[in-house]
């Protein structure tokens, strides 16, 4: 056995020498490590690898699952890449990471490999998020936007419309929760990913912009301490005090927030579109077919609800020793075929425009019809090499406001001061 391995290694090395420079990867065998999301319940990532192998039998893609939490994903990748780890070939990267990785020289720029002629099939916002300092660094495979899930059956039982403002949502939730509790049922109004991590930043950005506020304004000024932000955060805090959120919500990741909704004990949920496919899986959901999807509500001073623009792309590590082969898979994973499968299986929002008029994609996700408008009005998070620091300040101070450690005014004033200290 050992001999066989040695012979195999030698053959591989000979191949590597003979084919060094460009063609080597095509001849293989090549092994690539893809640091990706955890597998979805229907193993879409694995299905895509299997399909890729029909075309490229000599390229083996090892799927290595990153931690579930976005902030942990970022830390794990930064630590590994900064220490010179060359076992990571390419990896899933959040839209906010482009300046972080590009500015630290850890990834390849893809200007030549992913030219404008290919970019034009993608939604412009996904290309914008992949671009920094005049170069493109990522190949998008999924876009994202926060949406409001509601229990169709409960709203109709209480004869309530889908709320379009935060006050209306609060009042509707309060009425239904009060009546359901009186009838002896466990019921909460709303949950979202509100523990101290990136998911909370996304929720906070939505609250602020949906009330006419911002974090950094169009001129680049830090503007988190504003009357509009105080107003909306006070309203969310009031909802915490009214116990409309489950008591543990300030330690909820997105999975926890979905779980309470899927158990059937909650009226509303703020989540990403992927929650829809999960809600339709009877193994994990007792609300199959009972959830409607709507735009997020607006605040008392807002003109409309705004989602945070989320989404994911693939970055190619500078340390990869198999860049050409990596690019083959990166292109495959961002192809129409792969995005279509993820959209149908997992309700992932495709980064390619064409799929929004695909009848099978629309049939699997009836709410995709309203998504274009949501995406057009979605707000990107600040674009900065110091994004992780900016986001951490938002998370800490929003939690301070919601758990009562500070007044809302104090928490936002402190967030402003802390953010001003960061070298933008």
Question: Contact residues for ligand GLC (CB under 6 A)?
Answer: 70, 94-95, 144, 198-199, 202, 272, 310-312
Least gap, CB of 301 to ligand GLC (angstroms): 26
Nearer Cβ to ligand GLC (312/329): 312
The residue nearest ligand GLC at its CB is 310
Distance CA(293)–CA(203), nearest Å, equals 17
Nearer Cβ to ligand GLC (166/272): 272
Pairing of strands 291-294, 147-151: antiparallel
Mark out the alpha helices in 56-95 (DSSP H runs).
70-82
Least gap, CB of 254 to ligand GLC (angstroms): 6
Distance CA(34)–CA(102), nearest Å, equals 19
Nearer Cβ to ligand GLC (225/399): 399
Identify the three-state secondary structure at position 77.
helix
Structure-token pair, residue 274: 């992927």
Distance CA(132)–CA(352), nearest Å, equals 20
Dihedral angle computed from the Cα positions of residues 402, 403, 405 and 409, in that order, rounded to the nearest 10 degrees: 10
Nearer Cβ to ligand GLC (98/326): 98
Nearer Cβ to ligand GLC (192/297): 192
Least gap, CB of 257 to ligand GLC (angstroms): 11
Nearer Cβ to ligand GLC (268/312): 312
Structure-token pair, residue 53: 């192998």
| Contact yes or no for 76/67 (Cβ under 8 A) | yes
Nearer Cβ to ligand GLC (192/246): 192
Structure-token pair, residue 266: 């909650």
Q: For 17, what's the count of Cα atoms within 13 Å in the CB-facing half-sphere?
A: 5
Cα 39 → chain centroid: 15
Nearer Cβ to ligand GLC (25/198): 198
Strands (E), 361-403: none
Least gap, CB of 314 to ligand GLC (angstroms): 14
Least gap, CB of 385 to ligand GLC (angstroms): 17
Give the CA distances from residue 283 to residues 42, 203, 289, 299, in Å, rounded to whole numbers and listed in that order. Answer: 12, 28, 13, 36
Least gap, CB of 409 to ligand GLC (angstroms): 27
Nearer Cβ to ligand GLC (245/312): 312
Least gap, CB of 156 to ligand GLC (angstroms): 30
- Cβ burial, residue 263 (10 Å; 0-12/13-18/19+): middle
Nearer Cβ to ligand GLC (94/231): 94
Strands (E), 211-301: 266-271, 291-294
Distance CA(128)–CA(112), nearest Å, equals 17
Phi, psi of 188 (to 5 degrees): -120, 165
Distance CA(289)–CA(285), nearest Å, equals 10
Nearer Cβ to ligand GLC (66/294): 66
Phi, psi of 232 (to 5 degrees): -75, -35
Least gap, CB of 8 to ligand GLC (angstroms): 39
Least gap, CB of 200 to ligand GLC (angstroms): 9
Angle 312-213-412 (CA atoms, 0-180°, nearest 5)? Answer: 95
DSSP 349: B
């Amino acid at each position: 056995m050992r001999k066989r391995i040695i012979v195999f290694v030698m053959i591989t090395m000979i191949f590597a020498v003979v084919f060094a420079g460009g063609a080597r990867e095509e001849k293989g065998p090549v092994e690539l490590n893809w640091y990706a999301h955890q597998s979805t319940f229907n193993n879409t990532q694995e299905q895509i690898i299997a399909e890729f192998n029909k075309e490229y039998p000599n390229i083996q893609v090892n799927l290595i699952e990153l931690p579930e939490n976005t902030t942990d994903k970022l830390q794990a990748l930064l630590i590994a890449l900064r220490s010179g780890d060359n076992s990571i070939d390419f990896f899933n990267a959040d839209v906010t990471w482009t300046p972080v990785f590009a500015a630290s020289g850890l990834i390849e720029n893809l200007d030549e490999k992913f030219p404008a002629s290919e970019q034009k099939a993608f939604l412009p916002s996904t290309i914008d998020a992949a671009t920094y300092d005049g170069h493109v660094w990522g190949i998008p495979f999924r876009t994202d936007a926060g949406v409001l899930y509601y229990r169709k059956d409960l709203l109709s039982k209480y004869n309530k419309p889908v709320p379009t403002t935060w006050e209306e949502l609060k009042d509707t939730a309060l009425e239904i929760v009060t009546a359901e509790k009186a009838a002896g049922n466990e019921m909460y109004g709303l949950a979202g990913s509100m523990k101290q991590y990136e998911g909370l930043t996304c929720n906070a950005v939505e609250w602020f912009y949906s009330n006419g506020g911002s974090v950094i304004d169009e001129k680049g000024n830090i503007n988190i301490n504003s009357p509009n932000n105080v107003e909306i955060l006070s309203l969310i805090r009031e909802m915490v005090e009214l116990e409309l959120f489950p008591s543990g919500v300030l330690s909820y990741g997105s999975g926890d927030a979905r779980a309470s909704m899927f158990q059937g004990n909650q009226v509303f949920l703020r989540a990403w579109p992927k929650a829809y496919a999960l809600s339709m899986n009877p193994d994990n959901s007792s609300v199959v077919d009972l959830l409607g999807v709507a735009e997020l509500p607006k605040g008392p001073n807002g003109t409309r609800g705004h989602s945070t623009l989320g989404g994911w792309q693939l970055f190619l590590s500078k340390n990869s020793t198999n860049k050409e082969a990596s690019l083959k898979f990166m292109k495959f994973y961002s192809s129409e075929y792969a995005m279509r499968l993820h959209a149908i299986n997992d309700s992932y929002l495709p980064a390619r425009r064409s799929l929004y008029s695909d009848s099978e994609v629309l049939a699997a996700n009836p709410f995709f019809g309203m998504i274009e408008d949501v995406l057009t009005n979605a707000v990107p998070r600040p674009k900065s090499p110091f994004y992780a620091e900016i986001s951490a300040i938002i998370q800490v101070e929003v939690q301070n406001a919601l758990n009562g450690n500070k007044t809302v005014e104090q928490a936002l004033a402190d967030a402003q001061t802390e953010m001003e200290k960061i070298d933008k």
